């Protein structure tokens, strides 16, 4: 069986959170998760246990698409250092930078 994606995991956790918030018993909520997501009862209870410890639904991230780009070596060194220092991945760092650039470019025509 394939490992779940971050987005899929977040969706199941949010579903568990919603079931608990709606007043379902743990048994009813587990059964609903099993049916909806084709989980084992054990997996469903793990999601419910985690959902009980959060205050609000978690963010569901958009799926990512790998791309290949070429940048100068000195930029790569700076990018890796920034990503490591910030705790972000290189992909997250690049995505944030590109979004800022595009937002700024769209304001300037």
pTM of the model: 0.61
d(CA 74, CA 90) in angstroms, rounded, equals 15
pLDDT in tens, 1-57: 566 678 889 999 999 999 999 999 999 999 999 999 999 999 999 999 999 999 999
Give the per-residue pLDDT at 1.
Answer: 52
Res 79: pLDDT: 95
Rounded Cα distance between 61 and 92, Å, is: 12
pLDDT over 90 (residue 77): yes
In 3D space, the residue among 60, 51, 57, 61 whose CA is nearest the CA of residue 26 turns out to be: 51
Residue extents of the structural domains in the chain: 6-52, 73-107
């Amino acid at each position: 069986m394939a490992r779940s994606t971050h987005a899929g995991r977040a969706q199941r956790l949010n579903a568990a959170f919603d079931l608990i918030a709606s007043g379902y018993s743990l048994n009813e909520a587990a059964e609903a998760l099993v049916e909806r997501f084709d989980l084992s009862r054990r997996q469903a209870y793990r999601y419910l246990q985690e959902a009980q410890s959060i205050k609000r639904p978690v963010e569901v991230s958009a799926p990512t698409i790998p791309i290949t780009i070429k940048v100068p070596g000195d930029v790569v060194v700076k990018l890796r250092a920034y990503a490591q220092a910030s705790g972000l991945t290189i992909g997250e760092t690049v995505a944030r930078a590109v979004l800022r650039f595009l937002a700024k470019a769209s304001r300037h025509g």
